[in-house]
Amino acid sequence: MTSYFNGLVLTETAGRPTVAELRLPEVGPGQVRVKVRAAGVCHSDLSMVNGTIRPSFPLVLGHEAAGEVVEVGANVTRAAVGDHVVLNWQPACRTCWFCENDEPWLCSTSSGVASLENGVTLDGGPVHVALGLGAFADQVVAPENAVIRVPPALEFEVAALLSCGVLTGAGAVRNTAQVQPGQSVVVIGLGGVGLSVVAAARAAGASDVIAVDISEAKKGLAEAAGATDFVVSSDTLSKEIRGRTSGRGADHAFECVGRAATIRAAWRATRRGGQVTVVGMGSNDDQVQLSALDIFSSARILRSSVYGSADPDIEIPRLADDVLSGRLSLNHLITNRITLADVPDAFDRMSRGEGARSIVTIGEALLP
């Protein structure tokens, strides 16, 4: 029997996505069908709208989500009907060089996949899904390695955040930078990922967590996440940070914007011998310029953090336990609860730097 679903579809770069009814693929061997219950509006989705990432069209947007398994295909062992799951947009193949060398976040099979064909329009044309998922929808069909079970006690809204923004931010602190108790941290850019960095740095025992944004309105969110200080970004940012860190600069700086200017600002705000971790994804033509002498004499480390340098199969259950135990609080991240039709307005708010995460609450799926 043919299944249908509602998805938020983008038909061209810089277009305005709209909700459309589509035909869902049948569940094949090794696949599962998930009723999506909540999905976060992530900057990567906006990057597909504005052309920073170039997917195929028509495209069902969305990748940060959680839901309930409603059907499993043959030979599925990771999930059963009724399981609560987080969707993983970059599932590790476990067989490539990177996976076999304990770097599944760089998996050569799933890395760099902007979209995959997975669905059909009512007219019979192919449909593509963002990052292999297309989670701005009431249902998805995905390979079983793209779902990760979480406890039913974890709210779907919070579980959805774990699949991208929180894993990226917390992983950057825990895995990439390995922030230690007593160290000082500066976080530039306070969207959902940046606020997750703030929360994780505080949970790691950082003595100073200095949150930086261009908007004074982010101060309350930063404090709720655990920031000890808040600074409005300016041309004197590095001086401001040194003034709050005994004149040296921060031990760690996290750049959560993805722009050359803010990467340079993070570099200047970090002490000699400190570490700059680039978490934000920027454009290909935005070049970062640092002098050869500066790189040598400052002895700083500059590196990126892809998907939190994390193995989601391990890290997402850990994060779920941290949330349920109270070690990690995420409720402050949800600043708007919306429907699928409201996502374009959420993109507009994101472009203006307003709020943290908008969460799409999905209604009952159109089950056969």
Any domain includes 123: yes
CA 68 – CA 63 distance, rounded (Å): 15
Residue 228 belongs to domain with CATH number: 3.40.50.720
Q: Which two tokens stand for residue 196?
A: 């997750």
| pLDDT for position 10 | 97
Same domain, 298 and 344: no
What are the tens digits of pLDDT across the range 304-320? 999 999 999 999 999 99
| pLDDT for position 362 | 85
Entry pTM: 0.94
Q: Picking from 62-66, 202-206, 282-286, 289-293, which range would have the lowest pLDDT averaged per residue?
A: 282-286
| pLDDT for position 91 | 96
Q: How confident is the model at residue 366 (pLDDT cuts 50, 70, 90)?
A: very low
CA 48 – CA 56 distance, rounded (Å): 10
Q: How confident is the model at residue 3 (pLDDT cuts 50, 70, 90)?
A: confident
Largest CA distance in the chain: 68
Same domain, 213 and 136: no
Residue 364 has pLDDT above 70, yes or no: no
Q: How confident is the model at residue 233 (pLDDT cuts 50, 70, 90)?
A: very high
Same domain, 139 and 12: yes
Any domain includes 320: no
Same domain, 93 and 196: no
Same domain, 121 and 9: yes
Same domain, 239 and 181: yes
The DSSP result for 285-315, as a single string, is T------HHHHHHH--EEEE-SGGG--HHHH
Any domain includes 70: yes
| pLDDT for position 337 | 96
| pLDDT for position 368 | 37
Percent of the chain with pLDDT over 90: 93
Place of tokens 């967590």: 209
Q: Are 65 and 39 in contact (CB under 8 A)?
A: yes
Residue 130 has pLDDT above 70, yes or no: yes
Any domain includes 280: yes
| pLDDT for position 162 | 97
Q: What is the mean pLDDT of residues 3-21?
A: 95
Task: For residue 224, give the H/E element and its range.
Answer: helix 219-225
Residue 39 has pLDDT above 50, yes or no: yes
Same domain, 20 and 138: yes
| pLDDT for position 83 | 98
Same domain, 79 and 213: no
Helix (H, G, I), strand (E, B) or coil at 274: strand
Any domain includes 322: no
Same domain, 142 and 16: yes
Residue 365 has pLDDT above 50, yes or no: no
What are the tens digits of pLDDT across the range 307-362? 999 999 999 999 999 999 999 989 889 999 999 999 999 999 999 989 999 999 98
Q: Are 276 and 302 in contact (CB under 8 A)?
A: yes
Give the closest residue to 249 by CA, choosing from 274, 222, 277.
Answer: 274
Residue 277 has pLDDT above 80, yes or no: yes
Any domain includes 30: yes
Same domain, 217 and 348: no
Domain of 338 in residue numbering reads as 4-149+330-361
Residue 187 has pLDDT above 50, yes or no: yes
Residue 1 has pLDDT above 80, yes or no: no
Task: For residue 203, give the H/E element and its range.
Answer: helix 192-203
Same domain, 12 and 145: yes
Number of domains in the chain: 2
Residue 130 belongs to domain with CATH number: 3.90.180.10
